């Protein structure tokens, strides 16, 4: 990173616009955040959109402004969110939904704190001051991927795979357990009451060959005899840092969460760490 310059997460995301006097109430019933508690105008807050079974379908950022809400889809598929919202909009809801131009989002990269706690800006290029331009550097694709892995930011079709729930992905701070009814609320309440998750998201690092760390590859408890091996978890994201050094994200089974290491199928040593942004619900 250039000296005295901030490294920025600068990316454009698909976006939706809700308008109408029922906007806040509709979002309150469809997402995990207490929208009314976050109704301070122009404040950006995070929320999840779930299936009825509580699996995460999309990670959203929302900004309310009077009877309008812009929704940025951080992780998810815009057509799925649009179709899901439209399927439950009725005249009594008094809202209208439309796809709008993608929104440019900027956030300073911080390796000490959770990305969910950092200031976020939604901008037009014309909104950037000369000082902001000269005092910051856009992270490269590799720098951004590396940072997202360390933070534990879930990606669509990887960590968000139709099976995982927000608690398993470390997103408990985006769930309001006291807000009442919302899509997926009953499932989330069951997870919370059980005080147990079948797996949790972790980041990992290892030296070895690329085919040992492909997405979908399993990690094991030992590199010894096959009969002693236990499946620890599965790779959900993977990147090559250099020739034979790799890192990524994995879903680790609950019985092995205290382990600091595990092994690939071919016996390579793998270190496991808690992601920076993981928030446990219990």
77-111 pLDDT per residue, tens: 999 999 999 999 999 999 999 999 999 999 999 98
Show the domains of the chain with their CATH numbers: 6-151 (3.30.1360.120), 199-274 (2.40.30.110)
Which is it for strands 218-220 and 120-123: parallel, antiparallel or unpaired? Answer: unpaired
SS3 letters across 95-148? CEEEEEEEEEEEEECCCCCCHHHCCEEEECHHHCCHHHHHCEEECCHHHHHHHH
2 — pLDDT class (breaks 50, 70, 90): very low
- pLDDT at residue 1, rounded to an integer: 39
- pLDDT at residue 219, rounded to an integer: 96
| Ranges 40-44, 118-122, 197-201: which has the least confidence | 40-44
Q: Is 90 exceeded by the pLDDT of residue 204?
A: yes
Instruction: Give the tens place of pLDDT for each residue, 38-76.
Output: 887 778 999 999 999 999 999 999 999 889 999 999 999
What's the distance, Cα to Cα, between the start and end of the chain in Å?
A: 37
Q: Is 60 exceeded by the pLDDT of residue 146?
A: yes
- pLDDT at residue 133, rounded to an integer: 59
The alpha carbon torsion through 145, 79, 176, 93 (nearest 10 deg) reads 160
């Amino acid at each position: 990173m250039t000296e005295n310059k901030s490294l920025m997460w600068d990316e454009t995301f698909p976006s939706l616009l809700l308008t109408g006097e029922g906007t806040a109430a509709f979002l309150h019933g469809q997402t995990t955040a207490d929208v009314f508690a976050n109704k301070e105008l122009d404040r950006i807050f995070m929320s999840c959109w779930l299936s009825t079974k509580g699996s995460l379908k999309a990670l959203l950022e929302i900004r309310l402004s009077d009877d309008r809400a812009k929704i940025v889809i951080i992780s998810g598929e815009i057509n799925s969110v649009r179709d899901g919202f439209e399927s439950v909009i009725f005249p009594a809801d008094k809202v209208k939904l439309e796809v709008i131009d993608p929104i440019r989002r900027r956030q300073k990269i911080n390796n000490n704190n959770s990305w969910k706690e950092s200031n976020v800006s939604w901008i037009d290029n014309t909104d950037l001051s000369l000082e902001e331009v000269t005092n910051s550097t856009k992270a490269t694709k590799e720098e951004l991927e590396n940072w997202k892995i360390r933070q534990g930011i879930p990606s669509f079709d990887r960590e968000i795979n139709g099976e995982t729930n927000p608690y398993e992905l470390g997103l408990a701070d985006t769930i309001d357990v006291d807000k009442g009814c919302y899509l997926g609320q009953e499932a989330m309440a069951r997870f919370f009451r059980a005080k147990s998750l079948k797996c949790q998201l972790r980041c990992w690092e290892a030296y070895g060959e690329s085919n040992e760390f492909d997405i979908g590859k399993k990690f094991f408890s030992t590199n010894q005899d096959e009969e002693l091996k236990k499946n620890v978890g599965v790779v959900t994201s993977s990147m090559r840092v250099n020739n034979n050094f790799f890192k990524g994200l994995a879903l680790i089974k609950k019985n092995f969460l205290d382990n600091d290491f595990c092994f690939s199928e071919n016996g390579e040593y793998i270190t496991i760490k808690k992601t920076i942004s993981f928030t446990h619900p219990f």
